[in-house]
Amino acid sequence: MRIEENFDVSKLTSFKTGGKIRKVYFPECEADFISITEVESDFQVFGNLSNTLVSFDGYDGVVVITTAMNKFSIDGTRVVAECGLKGPKLSQAVAKEGLSGLEFMVAFPGSIGGECFMNAGAHGQSISDVLVSVNCWSKEKGLFKLLKDEMEFSYRTSVCQRENFVILSAEFELQKASREDIEARMKENLDFRHAKQPSLALPNCGSVFRNPEGNSAGRLLEEAGAKLFAVGGVRVWENHANFIINDRAGNSLDILEIMYKMHSCVKEKFGIELRPEVRYLGGNNEKEVELCKKLKML
């Protein structure tokens, strides 16, 4: 198992910003992960870091990154995948087998664990439609399994998010369909992403805020004037107000400051407090901590 000390994580994050983490583990299987829990009493777990903002002042703690836990198996319509597997890779693999239900993942940069953790979905499909169970770990319970009905899924959340359970693998039940229909749906999803969301070549973390119930964060932000916002090296994307682009070497403080401006303008105009989708890892920078508390990210 790969272990790094004083590891610069900036190249791994979607925002292309971040600092040094004191110690990082890269487990390759469940046994590796359990071995970490036996020697480390306090650590944070991340997957593909696709929706994580890491402080440019780094993190003085232990982090587990699960991207090397990326194996999967297909048995008929049953699919089992480890948490670090990238969603697009699994989506494409099951499509080749004529299995439908994960077409939406082809346009998502995240990993299986994170997508189950936050109940990812788009284009009329979601994780909760096809999930059978997840294998989890927590400090209090050790290893355990949760069935779909025990996941307490709701919009962009699950019991794993609320209780800080770590998802190690997931099992799905998919449906047989023609490869032509599956691939057509995947193409529609990719075309939609290319038209409505910034290219991954532009450093961004996807949607910044969750949609309030019955409303659109992007519409609220646009009507509040957020498309004009820029702070330091980051800016709100000109084509959709719920995306932040880091195309001028901005740092984590720039991103948090523009997030707070976005949050504040919607609250002032509509009386609605937007909730961030982005997770934060840091704590050494007082200004960042203050902004995270205001944004309820800590």
Q: Where are the domains of the chain?
A: 2-65, 73-196, 217-294
Question: Is the domain defined by 73-196 classed in CATH 3.30.450.20?
Answer: no
Q: Using only the alpha carbons of the chain, give its radius of gyration.
A: 19
Which stretches of 174-236 are assigned E, i.e. beta strand?
175-176, 230-231, 234-236
pLDDT of residue 121: 83
Q: Which of 99-103, 199-203, 221-225 has the lowest mean pLDDT?
A: 199-203
pLDDT of residue 286: 97
**Average model confidence (pLDDT) across the chain:** 95
Check whether 199 has a pLDDT greater than 90: no
Check whether 200 has a pLDDT greater than 80: no
- Concerning whether 277 is annotated as a catalytic residue, the answer is yes
- Concerning whether 152 is annotated as a catalytic residue, the answer is no
**How far apart are the two ends of the chain, measured CA to CA in Å?**
30
Tens of pLDDT, residue by residue over 252-285, are: 999 999 999 999 999 999 999 999 999 999 999 9
Active-site option among 30, 152, 277, 279: 277
Write out the H or E segment, with its range, that includes residue 184.
Answer: helix 179-196
pLDDT band at 108 (very low <50, low <70, confident <90, very high): confident
pLDDT of residue 140: 95
pLDDT of residue 267: 98
- Of the chain, the percentage scoring pLDDT greater than 70 comes to 100
pLDDT of residue 227: 97
Active-site option among 50, 111, 126, 207: 207
Active-site option among 156, 210, 275, 279: 156
* Neighbouring C-beta atoms of residue 38, cutoff 10 Å: 7
In CATH terms, the fold of domain 2-65 is 3.30.43
- Concerning whether 179 is annotated as a catalytic residue, the answer is no
Question: Is the domain defined by 217-294 classed in CATH 3.90.78.10?
Answer: yes
pLDDT of residue 116: 96
pLDDT of residue 195: 83
pLDDT of residue 265: 98
Q: What is the 3-state secondary structure (H, E, C) of 49-118?
A: CCCEEECCCCEEEEEEECCCCCCEEEECCEEEEECCCEHHHHHHHHHHCCEECCHHHHHCCCEHHHHHHC
Query: Is this structure's pTM higher than 0.85?
Result: yes
pLDDT of residue 86: 95
pLDDT of residue 112: 97
pLDDT band at 109 (very low <50, low <70, confident <90, very high): confident
Check whether 95 has a pLDDT greater than 90: yes
- What SS3 class is residue 270? helix
φ, ψ for residue 124, nearest 5 deg: 80, 5
Check whether 14 has a pLDDT greater than 80: yes
Please state the rounded mean pLDDT for residues 209-237: 97
pLDDT band at 15 (very low <50, low <70, confident <90, very high): very high
pLDDT of residue 221: 98
Tens of pLDDT, residue by residue over 52-93, are: 999 999 999 999 999 999 999 999 999 999 999 999 999 999
For residues 66 and 115, is the Cβ–Cβ distance under 8 A? no
Distance between CA atoms of 186 and 80, rounded to whole angstroms?
A: 21
Please state the rounded mean pLDDT for residues 104-121: 90
Please state the rounded mean pLDDT for residues 126-155: 96
pLDDT of residue 58: 96
Spell 226-241 as b/e; 16+ CB within 10 A means b.
Answer: bbebbbebbbbbeebb
